[in-house]
Amino acid sequence: MNFVDINMPVNKIAPSTGKLLVAEPFLNDPNFARSVILLCEHGEEGSVGFILNHATELTLGDLLPEMLNKDIAVYQGGPVQMDTLHMLHRMPEKLGGTEIIPGIYWGGSYDALQDIVLTNDYKPDDLRLFVGYAGWSKDQLSKELDESSWIIIDAKPGLLFETEPKDVWKEAIRTLGKEYAFIENMPVNPLLN
């Protein structure tokens, strides 16, 4: 018997490059629980994105000891290819990259990244580094959307760069409107409530 009828948001927005995937509150996969993912590539062959709110203890100096500025935080972009480094940024004139949403770029020159870090010619709020990525094969994301694992919303640059990682999921839920405000305070496991 179901004693609780929670009307979860219906995906009215189709997945596409530049959209955010917001994990439904009870998503049980430890890689994606309470995650917010920026889709950087979406097409017939699959999708690629980066988890915006999984901070790690790693810094750029841990990954590249030759870098002088060792304090740049590195996030876990997802469980795929954890031996790769990726970047999202707001510095196309310095780093290049592919524009994902207006003013937000993915990738670029890693030589240029090293140069701006060594010369301290960047603003920390304009750069996010990730190890690994989140990836979906053909039709995998569609299946997860049919299972209501994700809510799709429009990306907001403030969520990417100005919001503390621990607050990103709740802030993303707030963008859905007041009728879904109850979701942001749901326990991860309602059986423990």
pLDDT tens digit string along 73-98?
999 999 999 999 999 999 999 999 99
The Cα angle at residue 159 between residues 157 and 162, in degrees rounded to 5: 85
Least Cα distance to 127 among 71, 182, 79 occurs for 71
Specify whether the CB–CB gap between 59 and 71 falls below 8 A: yes
pTM: 0.90
Kindly report the CATH class assigned to 19-192: alpha beta
Give the residue extent of every domain in the chain: 19-192
**Is pLDDT of 1 > 50?**
no
Q: Which of 2-6, 8-12, 59-63, 135-139 has the lowest mean pLDDT?
A: 2-6
What is the SS3 string spanning 78-146?
A: CCEEEEEEEEEECCHHHHCCEEEECCEEECCCHHHHHHHHHCCCCCHHHEEEEEEEEEEECCHHHHHHH
pLDDT tens digit string along 86-131?
999 999 999 999 999 999 999 999 999 989 988 889 998 999 999 9
**Is pLDDT of 187 > 80?**
no
Specify whether the CB–CB gap between 44 and 94 falls below 8 A: no
Percent of the chain scored above 90 by pLDDT? 64
187, exposed or middle or buried, with CB in 10 Å at 0-12, 13-18, 19+?
exposed
pLDDT in the model for residue 11? 59
- The number of residues in the chain equals 193
Confidence of residue 9 (pLDDT cuts 50, 70, 90): low
pLDDT in the model for residue 8? 56
* Amino acid letter, residue 132: G
pLDDT tens digit string along 133-176?
999 999 999 999 999 899 999 998 888 999 999 999 999 999 88
